[in-house]
Structure 1
Amino acid sequence: MLITIPNVLSADEVRQFREHLDNADWQDGINTAGSIARNVKKNQQLDDTQEPAISLGNHILRVLAKTPTFVSAALPDRIYPPKFNRYSENETYGAHIDGSLMQIPGTHMTLRTDLSATLFLADPDEYEGGELTIETQYGTQTVKLPAGDMVLYPSTSLHQVSPVTKGTRVASFFWIQSMVSNFQERETLFELDQSIQKLTAELGAAHPEVVKLSGIYHNLIRQWAVPS
């Protein structure tokens, strides 16, 4: 399931992010590529152990904790600290699947990559090309969102960033370990939660059917969730 979440960052937040990022010390993305990715990765990244990556990443985490759609869709257990990349002309990232396990920097904790996220920090009219293409169970989907919007998709998906032919594509990306590792169960919970929220708005939280469905939702969480 591919989910787009609009306005994760406001226009003012994006502007402040870009002030930091446009003046940051970008490094060759090949420095953080694995043996396979080195053959298909051509972009730039920030050193995520230094500023401004640390403070900007922490801001994203604070915002996500208050973003209901993200919490509902991801049911996050652990989140890898957000990283930042940039693609200028002729830069691209060929087809690949994200690594299954990652050690969270500065800790002894391992994160299982259930979900991948890209938070766009450049508007579509700032660059040509640079589409995020994701192979899903429903076919190939192409994503190019306004600055401040985010896409969430299974880390098991084959995906790529097409070559940028003009301008610069800037984004943050990271991974999530969900309390519910099975993507079909997670999708069921998300769809059920979205329906409950709509019915709550129409009927009120005290309506018997809303209460019943809420109980079913939480009982499924009890059955399927395995927090670390």
Structure 2
Amino acid sequence: MLTVIEQVLSADEVAHFRQRLRAARWVDGRATAGTRAVAVKQNLQVEREDPVGRELGQALLARLGRLPLFVSASLAERIWPPVFNAYRDGGHYGLHSDAALMLLPGAERSLRSDLSATLFLSPPEEYEGGELEIETSFGAQAVKLAAGDMVLYPSSSLHRVTPVTAGERVCAITWIQSAVADASARALLFDLDQGIQALSVGRPADDPAIGRLVHVYQNLLRRWATP
């Protein structure tokens, strides 16, 4: 399931992020690639310990935690500290899959990558190419969103970033461990939650029919959540 979350950041916030990132320390993105991915990766990333990257990453995590659509779609249990990257001068990332387990920086525990997220920080008219292409059961889907918008997609999918032939594509990426590991179960919970929210509009908070639906949602979540 691909989920687009619009306006994670406002236009002013995007401009602030872009301005702050100019002062960050950018390094070769291949430094964090796996042994196979390094052969198909050509981009720049903000160094993991860079204070600007850490500051903006924390701000982004705080924002995601307040977005109902993100919370509903991800049921996030752990989130990798966001990574900021840039593609230009033909930069690309060939077809690859994300690592299933990632050791969290500064922690002695791993994150299971259930969902990957890309937040676009460059307007699509500022660069050519740079589509995020995600393999799905219905074929490859190309994603190129407005600045400030985010796409969530399964980490298990094969995906790539096509070459940026003009301009610069700046994004933030992260990975999420969901409380519900099974993707189909998570999708059903998301659909049920979105239906409950839509039906709740204009109804009293103690509406018994809505209460029963919430009861079903919580019991399904209880059944499917990872212990």
TM-score (norm 2): 0.97
Q: Alignment partner of 1:205: what SS?
A: coil
In structure 2, the residue matched to 1:49 is 49
Q: Is the 8 A contact 2:24 2:53 kept in 1?
A: no
Q: Is the 8 A contact 2:25 2:50 kept in 1?
A: no
CA–CA separation in structure 2 for the residues paired with 1:216 and 1:57: 35
Larger deviation: 185-194 or 48-57? 48-57
CA–CA separation in structure 2 for the residues paired with 1:214 and 1:49: 42
In structure 2, the residue matched to 1:121 is 121
In structure 2, the residue matched to 1:61 is 61
- The alpha carbon displacement at 1:23 in A equals 3.4
Write out the 4+ residue segments of structure 1 that deviate beyond 6 Å after TM superposition. none
Q: Alignment partner of 1:59: what SS?
A: helix
CA–CA separation in structure 2 for the residues paired with 1:68 and 1:138: 27
Structure 1 unpaired stretches of 5+: none
Q: Alignment partner of 1:52: what SS?
A: helix
CA–CA separation in structure 1 for the residues paired with 2:206 and 2:176: 33
Superposed, which structure 2 residues align to 1:186-225 within 5 Å? Answer: 186-225=186-225
Q: Is the 8 A contact 2:100 2:113 kept in 1?
A: yes
Larger deviation: 160-169 or 16-25? 16-25
Cα deviations across residues 94-134 of structure 1 (Å, max 9, x unaligned)? Answer: 00000000000011010000000001111101101000000
CA–CA separation in structure 1 for the residues paired with 2:133 and 2:33: 19
Identity of aligned residues (%): 52
In structure 2, the residue matched to 1:151 is 151
- The alpha carbon displacement at 1:139 in A equals 2.3
Larger deviation: 152-161 or 204-213? 204-213
Cα deviations across residues 145-196 of structure 1 (Å, max 9, x unaligned)? Answer: 1111000000000000000010000000010000000000000000000000
In structure 2, the residue matched to 1:112 is 112
Q: Alignment partner of 1:203: what SS?
A: coil
- The alpha carbon displacement at 1:202 in A equals 4.2
Superposed, which structure 2 residues align to 1:149-188 within 5 Å? Answer: 149-188=149-188
User: Which amino acid counterpart does residue 63 of structure 1 have in structure 2?
Assistant: R
CA–CA separation in structure 2 for the residues paired with 1:77 and 1:183: 14
User: Which amino acid counterpart does residue 82 of structure 1 have in structure 2?
Assistant: P
Cα deviations across residues 193-228 of structure 1 (Å, max 9, x unaligned)? Answer: 00000000143433222111111000101111125x
In structure 2, the residue matched to 1:102 is 102
CA–CA separation in structure 1 for the residues paired with 2:118 and 2:88: 17
User: Could you say if the C-alpha distance between residues 139 and 203 of structure 1 is closer, same or farther in structure 2, counting changes exceeding 3 Å?
Assistant: farther
In structure 2, the residue matched to 1:11 is 11
Structure 2 unpaired stretches of 5+: none
CA–CA separation in structure 2 for the residues paired with 1:15 and 1:174: 20
Number of equivalent positions = 227
CA–CA separation in structure 2 for the residues paired with 1:71 and 1:36: 32
CA–CA separation in structure 1 for the residues paired with 2:219 and 2:30: 45
- The alpha carbon displacement at 1:30 in A equals 1.3
User: Which amino acid counterpart does residue 180 of structure 1 have in structure 2?
Assistant: V
User: Which amino acid counterpart does residue 145 of structure 1 have in structure 2?
Assistant: L
CA–CA separation in structure 2 for the residues paired with 1:41 and 1:23: 24
Q: Is the 8 A contact 2:135 2:141 kept in 1?
A: yes
In structure 1, the residue matched to 2:78 is 78
